[in-house]
Chains A and B, each alone.
Chain A
Amino acid sequence: MIPIAYYVTVSTMMFVIGLVGILIRKNFLIILFSIELMLNAANINLVAFSNQYGEIDGQVISLFIITVAAAEAAVGLAIIIVLFRRKATTNVDELNLMKW
């Protein structure tokens, strides 16, 4: 049996990688990928603790997270398509219309 702390370590690393990805990348799509990474890290945590305490609730909630991630992907990609139609770029630095 593997202690739960190792699963939490993996999930922490994935979360930090996703966070750094959001901060450093310029491409809008890669920023969405990083958000997916962070959501997946949360999923690992939920399922690991569900296994640790013998309750099914963590797995049910991770199912909800997967659903919300799918919805987020659909809306995010629609926004990307609209933006690309107007400005022909996915570089977030050039999308500064609402910057003060």
Chain B
Amino acid sequence: MVEHAFFIYFATVTILSSIMTIGFRSPIYCTLALLSTLLHVAGLFVLLNAEFIAAIQIVVYAGAVLVLYLFVLMLLNLKKPEDFVHKQVWIALFFGVILLIEILIGLFKSPLFTKAPLAMTESVSELGNTAAIGFSLFTKYLLPFEVVGMILLGAVIGAMVLAKKVPTN
């Protein structure tokens, strides 16, 4: 029962604040709404027994990425725009709602509502969540792990090269 109450709270606030993220006029308010969305998604992760991902969500997303966004936003010092949405807003909303209904119809016909979750595999329940992720990361997913490291390195170098001021003679 407590689980249901928490799920309803986290799901509602996630949806509402993601609507606010694209709905506010001022970019700062949008950023704060995105922050609230990410924190509540972390709550959903905790309900799904994924404590490590929840912690990473808060530390990396809400801590690092959001601060980066806020920092750039303050650096640019944008003024409030008069018109902040395209004129195609009604068409986009119409097709968005149709897409949503389509996916939900497919979902409600699926057997996902009645199936109980399977128990965690033995290695996971033995090691615990974090240790199991680490184990998987360094055995089964070693190559993708290294590739992600290269992606991060490329992103760091690319961002620095892009944002560097070209000296003018």
Q: Do A and B bind each other?
A: yes
Chain A residues engaging chain B, CB cutoff 8 angstroms: 1-10, 12-14, 16-21, 23-27, 29-30, 32-34, 36-37, 40, 43-44, 47-48, 50-57, 59-60, 62-64, 66-75, 77-82, 84-85, 90-91, 93
Q: Interface digits, B72-92 against A, CB 8 Å rule (1 contact, 0 not)?
A: 110110100101111011001
Chain B residues engaging chain A, CB cutoff 8 angstroms: 3-4, 7, 11, 14-15, 18-19, 21-22, 27, 30-31, 34, 37-38, 41, 44-45, 47-50, 52-53, 56-57, 60-61, 64-65, 68-69, 72-73, 75-76, 78, 81, 83-86, 88-89, 92-93, 96-97, 99-100, 103-104, 107-108, 110, 112-121, 124, 129, 132-133, 136-137, 140-141, 144, 148, 151-152, 154-156, 158-160, 162-163, 165
A82 to chain B: closest CB distance in Å?
6
Q: Can you offer 8 A-B residue contacts whose CB atoms are under 8 A?
A: A4-B117, A17-B15, A29-B30, A37-B22, A63-B133, A70-B152, A71-B154, A74-B155
Select one of B14, B113, B158, B165 contacting A5, CB under 8 A: B113
Q: How many angstroms between the C-alpha atoms of A32 and B31 in the bound complex?
A: 11
CB closest chain-A residue, reference B155: A71
CB closest chain-B residue, reference A72: B155
Select one of A6, A19, A37, A59 contacting B52, CB under 8 A: A59
Residues of B within 8 A of A84 (CB): 76
Residues of A within 8 A of B99 (CB): 16, 19
Select one of B7, B18, B64 contacting A14, CB under 8 A: B18
Q: For chain B, what secondary structure do more than half of its interface residues adopt (helix, strand, loop), or is it mixed?
A: helix
B111 to chain A: closest CB distance in Å?
9
B106 to chain A: closest CB distance in Å?
10
User: Could you tell me if A7 and B48 are in contact, using CB atoms closer than 8 angstroms?
Assistant: yes
User: Could you tell me if B41 and A44 are in contact, using CB atoms closer than 8 angstroms?
Assistant: yes
Question: Given A44-B41, A47-B45, A77-B72, is A16 in contact with B96 using a C-beta cutoff of 8 Å?
Answer: yes
User: Could you tell me if A30 and B41 are in contact, using CB atoms closer than 8 angstroms?
Assistant: no
Q: How many angstroms between the C-alpha atoms of A42 and B57 in the bound complex?
A: 13
